[in-house]
Amino acid sequence: MDLFDISVRKANGQEISLRQYKGNVLLIVNTASKCGFTPQYKDLQALYEQYNKQGFDILAFPCNQFLNQEPGSNDEIESFCQLNYGVTFDVFAKCDVNGEHAHPLFRFLTERAPGAFRTKAIKWNFTKFLVDRDGKEIKRFSPQTNPRDMKNVIEQFLTK
């Protein structure tokens, strides 16, 4: 299976293929609106604005699996992101990132980029996966990693 064979659901319910992002560097993040890391949306948006014209996209996937910190509907989440953080990158429909009902995207990512001690499970909101233009090289970053601190790695992926 290839990353770009996976389909995802946008917040409006439309199913799309990740193939439309092939050729771009992707930062895929599981997000939540009521988390201590939620202010990272601001820095994610700044990264998006800085690098988007160079072929960089951010894909946010809200998840309610961590202490119910994403209780809203897809429309409420999208509005929250736009109104509070000026988010213009793609915010998708809520999904599970762990367990039996984990979205195939997160199964793919965690298989290829395990966390500390080679664990596959995502530990918390705002775990980040940086994916190269071909969907081959994947780096995983913890929720504590501030998006601003990822600039060097993003730039390396953009110049490959």
81 tagged catalytic: no
Cα separation values, 118 from 74, 112, 138, Å: 32, 10, 14
- CA dist., res. 151 & res. 58, Å (int): 13
Name the residue among 100, 108, 101 with its Cα closest to residue 59: 108
Query: Could you say which of 35, 63, 81, 95 is catalytic?
Result: 35
Three-point CA angle 14, 34, 104, nearest 5°: 40
SS3 85: helix
φ/ψ of 117, rounded to 5, equals: 60, 25
Beta-carbon contacts of residue 30 (< 8 Å; ≥ 6 apart): 61, 62, 63, 97, 106, 122, 125, 126, 127
Strand segments (E) across 67-137:
90-91, 128-131
Residues designated catalytic: 35
